[in-house]
């Protein structure tokens, strides 16, 4: 049985370490904030200029002036701070963010990621993705294993415009987890969803990986 999006996010949250500064991308990655392990304190950073993001507000308590980079309403903490997006990107480019969790359209077997546009479709902009994959210490991708048409998203090489080359450290999909110890190393299948076989994963993947 495939993992739910919350289960995927919970798996990603296991990579968090106490004291980490963490950036969460749009979509499934935002759910990681709901699964931070007990005893672990992390500081969430948003590209639009906020450090210390609180939980999503309850209905009726939203403040339209308080949003994350994905335009979702958020809450603040007593320790929250606000600054310009230029300062925010200086944190990212300066290597001060420990981990980012991003969505992806494709990831290649060599760790390339494509996640900012599909040619011919409306482009909202690349956001901070290109800076994040270049400046953050660890990159985790959360994505469905296959696209809506059934095509693989973990592939030998990306066909879509790249966000970054040789940058992804871990891939978490709805059926499997792949990790690699260092840039240039080969991905290894390290976990499978309950009831999912290695043969099924191989049938739904075109990238090469270790088992």
Residues taking part in catalysis:
47
Q: How far apart are CA 69 and CA 49, in angstroms?
A: 9
Q: How far apart are CA 140 and CA 169, in angstroms?
A: 6
Contact 209, 187 (CB under 8 A): yes
Question: Residue 192, SS3?
Answer: strand
Instruction: Check residue 69 and report its DSSP letter.
Output: T
Contact 138, 100 (CB under 8 A): yes
Q: How far apart are CA 200 and CA 211, in angstroms?
A: 13
Instruction: Check residue 165 and report its DSSP letter.
Output: S
Is residue 44 exposed (0-12), middle (13-18) or buried (19+ Cβ within 10 Å)? buried
């Amino acid at each position: 049985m495939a993992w739910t999006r919350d289960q995927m996010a919970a798996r990603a949250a296991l990579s968090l370490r106490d004291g980490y500064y963490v950036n969460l991308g749009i979509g499934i990655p935002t759910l990681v904030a709901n699964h931070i392990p007990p005893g672990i304190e992390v500081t969430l950073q948003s590209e639009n200029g906020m450090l210390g993001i609180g939980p999503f507000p309850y209905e009726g308590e939203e403040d339209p002036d308080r949003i994350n980079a994905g335009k979702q309403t958020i809450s603040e903490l007593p320790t929250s701070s606000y600054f310009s997006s230029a300062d925010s990107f200086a944190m990212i480019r300066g290597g001060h963010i420990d981990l980012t969790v991003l969505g992806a359209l494709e990831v290649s077997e060599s760790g390339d990621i494509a996640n900012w546009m599909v040619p011919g479709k409306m482009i909202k902009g690349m956001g901070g993705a290109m800076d994040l994959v270049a400046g953050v210490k660890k990159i985790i991708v959360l994505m469905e294993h296959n696209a809506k048409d059934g095509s693989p998203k973990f592939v030998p090489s990306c066909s879509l415009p790249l966000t970054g080359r040789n940058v992804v450290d871990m891939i978490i999909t709805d059926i499997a987890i792949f990790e690699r110890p260092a840039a240039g190393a080969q991905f290894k299948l390290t976990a499978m969803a309950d009831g999912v076989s290695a043969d099924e994963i191989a049938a739904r993947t075109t990238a090469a990986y270790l088992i």
